[in-house]
Amino acid sequence: MTVASRIRAWRIGRASPVVGGPSLPLMGCRVRAGFPSPADDHLDVEIDLHAYVVRRPASTYFVRAEGDSMLGDGIHDGDLLVVDRSLEPRPGRVIIIAVDGEPTVKRLERLAGRTCLVASNPRFPAIPLEGRECEVWGVVTHVLHALPGAVP
């Protein structure tokens, strides 16, 4: 199995909102990762998760990640990525890009004056883009993943 085949991303659908879709409750406070406060157990507003993660519906789609090359950026195998095609792919941004026809998710960087794709897992080498056929499919804006044991 090649490195490219282990770091794919697959497009799975457009980000079109569900008309009349359910809004979900949003707590009126932030949740501490330490000791919980019993005074903070009230709801403030409702939130439409789609409206929260999709700023430009006409240019946004969802894709499922495959592999472990982006673990350092919190992207795990099977995660759902929100991708906006209208954003400029600048150095430092995580992008979806087809390199020589093979889609992948990586961070765009300039290294020693060369444009490269960089994994956030040190086991994967940088991929120089010079001389390769490349097509940017968009900039990753959000990552959604379930915690272990949370989904049956």
Catalytic annotation, pick one of 5, 86, 106, 120: 106
Of the candidates 16, 37, 59, 69, the residue annotated as catalytic is 69
Known active-site residue 5 = no
The whole-angstrom distance between residue 90's C-alpha and the CA centroid of its chain comes to 15
What is the reported pTM?
0.72
| Residues in CB range of 58: below 8 A, 6 or more apart | none
Strand 94-99 relative to strand 43-47: parallel, antiparallel, unpaired?
unpaired
* H/E run at residue 81: strand 80-84
Residue 16 appears among annotated catalytic residues: no
Round to whole Å and give the CA distance between 42 and 44: 7
pLDDT tens sequence across 86-132: 999 999 999 999 999 999 999 999 999 999 999 999 999 999 999 99
Residues 6+ apart with CB under 8 A from 50: 15, 17, 18, 21
Answer for the pair 14, 58: CB distance below 8 angstroms, yes or no: no
Integer CA distances (angstroms), 66 to 22, 23, 69, 97, in order? 29, 29, 9, 14
Q: What is the per-residue pLDDT for 54?
A: 87
pLDDT surpassing 50 at residue 52: yes
Cβ 72 vs Cβ 105: under 8 Å: no
State pLDDT tens for residues 16-49.
Answer: 555 555 554 444 445 556 555 555 555 566 778 8
